[in-house]
A and B are shown apart, each in its own frame.
Chain A
């Protein structure tokens, strides 16, 4: 199953830990996971535990427009994309969860 996740809150919000836990659990069960970060959610790329998801097979894309507004530097393994990437995730996944 393909799981899509939208995260719009910054790392101090409990949503981040929830997204990390769900993503790890889904990957362990063999599901595909795609995460899109926008608004304050782009700050999550600076959280080590979150960025490590990319190395566990989770596809992570962030809104480059929001990242540029917040002076977020590029991170290896994370796509600095656009709202089109979000549209693709929403359109292609079997289940979509929003955390905001």
Chain B
């Protein structure tokens, strides 16, 4: 079993990249590999409560639901959150300090920045 880490670091609304990163993460579990998704820099806005339907964008709820069901680890970078003054995250997201983020990356067999 490999450890695969996907890094999401872009804003969620000006691109489909973040949604595709989550869809890819779900797909990567199909061979029983351990998938971790790290939200860092502007990517952490993807794990804040939001209403994308207000600007006619599709929600990420389905992807997050699948990742939760598959027991994937979802980490939010604490310094990125503090820098942006974010107070609330969606459920099942683990707040991780920079040390844990680095340790997760170091222990990964594959890292995919998306």
Contact = CB atoms under 8 A, between A and B. Distances in A.
A82 interface: yes
Interface string B7-37: 0000000001100100110111111110000
Contact of B33 (A39, A82, A90, A100): A90
Nearest to B32: A91
Nearest to A100: B114
B110 interface: yes
A100 B17 CA distance: 10
Contacts of A39: 16-17, 20
Nearest to A89: B31
Contacts of B112: 6, 96, 98, 100
Contact of A90 (B2, B16, B17, B26): B2
A3 B85 CA distance: 41
Nearest to B19: A39
A88 B33 CA distance: 10
Interface in A77-94: 82-84, 86-88, 90-91
B31 A83 contact: no
B4 A90 contact: yes
Contacts of B2: 90-91
A82 B24 CA distance: 10
A87 B17 CA distance: 18
20 contacts: A8-B114, A38-B24, A83-B26, A86-B24, A86-B27, A86-B28, A87-B27, A87-B29, A87-B30, A88-B31, A90-B4, A91-B32, A96-B109, A96-B110, A96-B112, A98-B111, A98-B112, A98-B113, A98-B114, A100-B17
